[in-house]
Structure 1
Amino acid sequence: MGYKILVSDDNGETISQLHDLLIDEIDGLEIIPIKKEEIYTKATELNPNIILVFPKTLVRSGIESIISLKQNKLTHSIPVLIVADYSPVINIDRIFEYGIVDIIRKPFCKDELLLRFDAALNRSEFQHEIYIEHELLRELSIVAKRSANSVIVISFDGVIEWVNEGFEKMYGYTYSEFKEKFEENIFNPQSNPKLFEAIQKCKEGYESVVYENKWTTNYGTPIWIQTTLTPIYNEQNEIIKFVAIESDVSALKEVEERLEAKNESLLTLTESLEKANQLLEEQRLKSDELLLNILPAEIANQLKKKGSAKSKQYKMVSILFTDFKNFSKLAGVIPSQDLITELNIYFQKFDEIIEGHYIEKIKTIGDAYMCAGGLPLTNRSNPIDVTIAGLKIQKFMKEYAETKRGSNQEGWELRVGIHTGEVIAGVIGRKKFAYDIWGDAVNKAARMEQSGEEGKVNISGDTYEYIKDYFDCTYRGKIEVKNNVDLDMYFVNRLKAEFSDDEAGTEPNAEFLKILAKY
């Protein structure tokens, strides 16, 4: 079965890139260029899997075409995604109002593309199911009107909007009589706590809630009524109404009352099981959250599904090591708890810095911090990303040291080393999972840190070749490292002035971000 992608208003470059990235990943791939005003007509004709648009598509004719697509029951479930670079030229809030479901940033990453396509299609299937349910509800309303059971439609705000003939027969009141006499108090939590509780449960996510109430009809007859309250959702998965289907269960209630004493122990057991299940679910969610805190999402998902994760080889990864000057000496003079607290301040800031540059934290070893760019999702910008992160880390060290000196305390000093090369990454073993990387590139990155100087970012000659056009660097020559090996080393001073947005040379300007977006 073919897989069709419609691309609106492309200059030819995007289609070529998509074809090269996806042709080996998607069977029967067909990428079709269209104009903005053709989105709706081509979608009805070709029934594509995905539609891609650009910011320039979002003019009147393009928007109208997308809206028409979403209003047609045959095409409303086709996901529309917008392709954009890093420049914030689109109004995020407005594009989702038009029916666009996601944003794909350039430059493209194959793994991210496939993940976003799958997510969009899954979301589309879910929305289509909701649409079908709405249609079914409309058809069922015709049947409900003549049902012997009572059927009531309640607005989200707690107003009775409609009742059927069965309601009037069961209660002995007409719609207007019932509203006039009871509506003011029927939704009051003190007067009718069971209905109030059922509505709250529906708002919390319950598919339906069943409860029973004793009622006196207009004829003075006491009856037991069983109510099934069900929330109705719109396409945005928001509750818009509630439907209550009620049955006279007076005869059954009499039998239940006779059996209630015998069922008490069973009820207690059921409640215990429900609490146990809830506790198990909470523990599962905590375990998932912990797993995602220590492993990349891609690896965590593999472990949950298969119990293991395959190691993967990466051709170009940039590894960064840091190490504090004289940490052992500091450990001898600073109380242990104060030492850990201070170390945590530094490492939390390092985490914050790398998170904004597509860099994966690998681990900390004592006072050493290790991270890498270009994995698990690959990119070609990782030497630049990691170098910028290294500069920002040293900038933070200087600023924090000045703050410390203001309170008569000494700030710590740090060495930073970076190398770019080939690694293998994965998770090994069956206990205490940890994502790690191996290879000669890791050793060289460690040598860069060991051979560096406090307050400096020391990089290898390999990393320098990737970043030299954008950074001001000082060549240090060939420096001997472990095992009598000589390696080219450079100090990175800053981003070149023409690419920097600050005096320290750590913040890329708009011009440099455009260049980076091409990687």
Structure 2
Amino acid sequence: MFGFVHESMRQLVVRRYGDELWKEVLKRAGLENIKENMNHYYQDSDTYQLIDSVAALTKISREQVWEMYGAFLIEYTMEIGWEELLRNMSPNIKGFLDNLDSLHYFIDHVVYKANLRGPSFRCEENTDGSIILHYITSRPGLYPIVKGVLNEVARRVFNIEISLAITGRTQRSVQMATGERIEEHVIFLIKTIHSKGGSRSGSNTSMVSNTVINLTDKTLQMTASEFSFALPYHLVFDEHCRLIQFGRELMNHIPKELLKVGTPIMRIFEINRPHIPFDFDNICNFINAVFVLQVKASPSNMRRKRESMENIGGDKNNGTFTHEQHLKLKGQMLLLSDQKSLIYICSPYVTSISELMEYDMRLTAIPLHDATRDLILLNQQRLADIEVHLQLDENNEQLEKVTKELEFERTKTESVLMSILPPTIANHLINNEHIEAREFEHATVMFSDVPNFHSILSHSHPKDVVQMLNDLFHRFDRLVAMHKVYKVETVCDSYMTVGGIPDQVNEHAERICHVAIGMLWEARLVSEPVGENPVQIRIGINTGPIIAGVVTMKMPRYCLFGETVCLASCLEMNGIPGKIQCSEKSYKYAMQTGRFDFKCRGRVNIKGRGTMETYFLYRSLNKSVWEIIGRERDISKNSIDGYEELENGVYYSEQQATVIHPAGSDNSKSCTVS
């Protein structure tokens, strides 16, 4: 069904039951992922599923939903600009019903260009003023819509109350050109119950005028040729549906051998609308309907067919039958005074220049008095407007898509910036703010590495080495985030962290010391690729003034500069596996805000800087290992604070801790000063 049905049903449900129920309806019907479009044609099964969902969730029957929809349909169409048309279709309800077919046809084929299979309506007036309405549709089960529509039209448009009774309902199988289909015929009896003040229908529901027009001269003051010129597309046929008279323009679209007086009209035309057999009685029954007839064969079509027959046995390509558009006529059937003839007053059914050209016609083929001329010209402008609107809609959809993609890319970019830069610095970059380099008077820097990394590298598969480092650094990243310090960078097996930059805090040394203890523990949980031994790391920590800033904008990095950084790196290089070596400044700053167990290592020779006193960090007296690493303790296996396990995992003697390793030994590397 047409998308307008879905949209008007959405309006009904949202207004009466709320937006949340409509979402539930779509979800239940399996239509939540389908984009709503008034100009889209939905499968009937989708619409029926939608109605069943509304019925189930509102706990009313399907028939009640359709009747409620029919009443709301009038209310909604009047809201969106059709009120004036509905009020001026007819002065009475019978006239309204007589014109429903033409209204359906106009909306389907002219307004929305949908070419849908609409219902047919036929009225009969009884002597008591009641009306018998015949409703014929190819969609069984929709008759409650008619009840809702008629009750609402009577109340809103004609200011009357009516009663509706179904006196008959039958279904039959009809063979059409497109195949067999089920057709439902429902008969309604309509009676006026009460006419309110100001009723437009008066005392008689139908208000049929019986005035007879008296002509002084019964002779038609024009010849048959002049009549054929004035109405160039008309047809007159008798009660046996044989051609009596026709307009001159039809000779350009119908073969001459068919366009003769006495030819059965069924040989020339087929009825496209209404969907009835082509016979005199059926046409009289639907005399108020819009009739669309289509020519069965054009002159050029017949000519090619004859040529094809003549060329049998010759070149088969010469006999190829080419399909072309056959003329469609749209108009009205009128019963003539002899009650035995019908005249079909019509015009070519064309609404645009392109359709006109499909029939090999020009605008001059349409009489000047025919409104089809104006319709073609107006519709041409309308089609241009529609094309612009469609292009705008397409551009809007594309713009929305690009906007979403840009938003996604922006989010990814911001996420990357947040991962490589401190959040405060990243936010400045995102807001296009200039970032000046800053000097921080006090900050604590930590370096860690795997001392036997080169040995591991030479005896392991590269993939295993990368996997080991990923596991190790992933654990370190968790600790860094947990203790709110900043990871500056990782280079090969080296991991650099800083506390107190760019967000200054007094306990920067304390935080770094806690991270260092956690890193020692987490490293034990990672195995070397060869030998499956736990990974051992060494750590160096130093505190002092630092210069920090963003370097390059294309691939920004937050870099640290100064002697403090270089000395921290040297402390790590001159450290001992499984130990945390701190400078004297770091020791003092850590003890100002926290409580730790430090032991003096003695004076250590630092290449290029002479000797300096350093300290080994063993434990925090304020926090257990479990608090530092953010993991639960296994009561059956682990000690209360975890430091016993941490110390037992170190594979060197206590005496080694006091050894001063000269520069250039196996555990030393040169230190580059930034």
Question: TM-score if structure 2 supplies the norm length?
Answer: 0.39
Q: 1 or 2, which has the higher strand percentage? A: 1
Structure with greater contact order relative to length (CA < 8 Å, sep ≥ 6): 1
Larger Rg: 2
